[in-house]
Amino acid sequence: LMARLHDQHGLVLPELDLGGGHAIAYRPGDDALDPTSLARRVRTELADACASAALPVPRLVIEPGRAIAGPAGIALYRVLAVKHSGGKVFVAVDGGMSDNPRPALYGVRYAPRLTGRNSTAAPARVTVVGRHCEAGDIVASDAGLPADVRPGDLLALPAAGAYHLSMASGYNLVGRPPVVAVRDGLARLLVRRESIEDI
């Protein structure tokens, strides 16, 4: 592309922006962006291609928004109900596709964790579902949670910092959740929970 722009229009690009959308690890074992490795690999290939086309090597830029913001956020859900049906376990929580449509839209797979209490129960495979009247309101499928998960428990959903809330809506009249910053054990409310009057 750079060679074609130069040949057809006399343009020499000083910067090449590879954009964003780079992967993050939503679950243990998922691949994540290694910016140093990516930069080295692209820089080497770019230098070779520029040398072949007699062009200067442009400054290389990426937009790692999700790679930075994603791991910084954790969504907390309260368990509302646990249902056993057809040999499967469904754990219903107080959020879902209104505050995080990514599983329904893109098939993002999260690994929720029980938080707020210790459990010695054996792990069980469960489907964590949202509170909306939609068959696709699945927060996490085939997730490993303690078999004694029960109403009132809190589930933490790591890697929820990118797009989770920016894509949220007031769907089904479910208000957006609050946003709380935690640093050195101290919590500070950044955005209050949406009320029905807000919606």
Catalytic (active-site) positions: 133
Strand 15-17 and strand 59-61: the pairing is parallel
Residue 128's DSSP bridge partners are: 91, 140
Q: Which has the closest alpha carbon to 68: 35, 101, 97?
A: 35
Structure-block tokens of residue 81:
């109900």
* CA-closest candidate to residue 89, choices 144, 134, 132: 144
Other C-beta atoms closer than 10 Å to the C-beta of 117 total 12
Do residues 160 and 166 make contact, with C-beta atoms less than 8 angstroms apart? no
Q: Which two tokens stand for residue 89?
A: 């376990």
Burial class (CB in 10 A: 0-12, 13-18, 19+), 77: buried
